[in-house]
Amino acid sequence: MTLKIRNANDSDKTEILKFCKDTFSWGDYVEHVWDYWLSEGHLFLAEKQFSVGICHAFYSKDQIWVEGIRVKSNFRRQNIASELVKYAETIGKQKDLSTSFMLIDTENSTSLSMANSLNYQIYQTWNFYALEPKINSNNNVTFEKSFDTHLFPHYVKSWRWLPIDDETLKSFCNENKIIQSSVDDKNSIALLSDSEHFDKTLIVTLFSKSDDSVVEILAFLQNLGIEKNYERIQILTKEKLPSFDSLEHKISFHLMNKSLV
């Protein structure tokens, strides 16, 4: 059967979610983001008479963000995921974009092998922590109006690593979404954003320079969670964070990238 890739539509949802529901031990998130991805466009579907895989691509500035690669269990190891990614890359090249990114669990050897076969390299390794909102006024942070985008070129928005341009930086500053803590002249900085896909979820991109300054930020985030009625605080950072009340390391990911030029 010939593999065909096309844009997904509303009528594909039920069939796709049937083979996405048990992707991970805890289930999957595709059912929660399907409508968002469909409205954004570039939700690609692979079919061999019927649906066998999906992949979503988000095109921004000079990069592609590839996400949500899923293949029906009895059609895996047939290069379907690779074909979906290559399809997404082709559109990126037509848009003259220079880089493609994707995020893969460090323990997911199958997906890492697929990415390597397409010439993706490990760009960075990131850790995902969950923090429980709590009343904790014992913190010392400041709101910043500047940020060195050369040192920190990306931030996380709804689990996409996106470039920080002047417009984005201005928005963060105007909304008081950049916080900093300084202890013994070692600064830690966090960028705050609300999830676009999940209600009451705060996503934090954290750049840590010392455990002491990170603790100040974590305490602030806990308190902010209570003040703003967040149910979840998700922290993404390249560093290993210190032990802290209600902070839990969830998983580590490789941020993979590939040049398209």
The count of domains in the chain is 2
Identify the burial level of 65 via C-beta atoms within 10 angstroms of its C-beta, where 0-12 means exposed, 13-18 middle and 19 or more buried.
buried
Domain of 34 in residue numbering reads as 4-97
Residues 171 and 238 in one domain: yes
pLDDT per position as a tens digit, 189-214: 999 999 998 999 999 999 998 999 99
Out of 17-26, 139-148, 203-212, which region has the weakest mean confidence (pLDDT)? 17-26
CA angle 128, 194, 133 (to 5 degrees): 65
| Alpha helix positions (H), the chain | 13-20, 30-40, 80-94, 109-117, 166-174, 211-227
What is the pLDDT, as a whole number, of residue 26? 66
Which pLDDT score, from 0 to 100, does residue 25 have?
64
Query: Would 103 be classed as within a structural domain?
Result: no
pLDDT digits (tens, 9 = 90+) for 72-116: 988 888 999 999 999 999 999 999 999 999 999 999 999 999 999
In a domain, 108, yes or no: no
Tell whether 138 is covered by a domain: yes
Contact between 205 and 236 under an 8 Å Cβ cutoff? The reply is yes
Q: Decide if pLDDT at 144 tops 90.
A: no
Helix 109-117 crosses helix 80-94 at what angle (to 10 degrees)? 50
**Residue ranges of the alpha helices (H) in 51-105?**
80-94
Q: pTM surpassing 0.85?
A: yes
Q: Could you tell me if residue 18 is inside a domain?
A: yes
Question: What mean pLDDT do residues 128-141 have?
Answer: 90
Q: What confidence score (pLDDT) does residue 24 get?
A: 67
